[in-house]
């Protein structure tokens, strides 16, 4: 039996997307540009201002390189778990 193949997502700085990452899309979706990745497999993306609100559009397309330039337009700006840990002391 073959092992499942998991997608690896790299941001504009070539950083690999991880569970808990806060990403900036550098464009707005429903007035928001910051999102939190709660899980990478399966991909679970939420609005940073309301973690109960699931990103309702194609998450794979959101993280894919631009169809026009081939560039990745989103950037990892923080991680909620690191943020909580650092600010808890």
**Domains of the chain by residue range:** 21-86
Phi, psi for 30 (deg, rounded to 5): 55, 40
pLDDT tens per residue, range 35-68 = 999 999 999 999 999 999 999 999 999 999 999 9
The pTM of this model reads: 0.85
Nearest to 16 by CA among 7, 5, 27: 7
Phi, psi for 88 (deg, rounded to 5): -95, -5
CA 30-32-34 angle, 5° bins: 140
pLDDT tens per residue, range 66-89 = 999 999 999 999 999 887 766 665
Nearest-angstrom CA–CA distance, 39 and 31: 23
pLDDT at position 82: 85
């Amino acid at each position: 039996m073959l092992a499942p193949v998991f997608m690896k997502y790299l941001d504009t700085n070539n950083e690999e997307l991880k569970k808990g990452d806060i990403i900036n899309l550098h464009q707005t979706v429903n007035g928001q540009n910051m999102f939190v990745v709660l899980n990478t497999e399966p991909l679970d993306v939420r609005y940073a201002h309301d973690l109960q609100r699931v990103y309702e559009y194609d998450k794979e397309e959101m993280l894919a390189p631009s169809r026009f330039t081939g560039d990745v337009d989103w950037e990892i700006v923080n991680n909620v778990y690191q943020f909580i840990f650092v600010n808890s002391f």
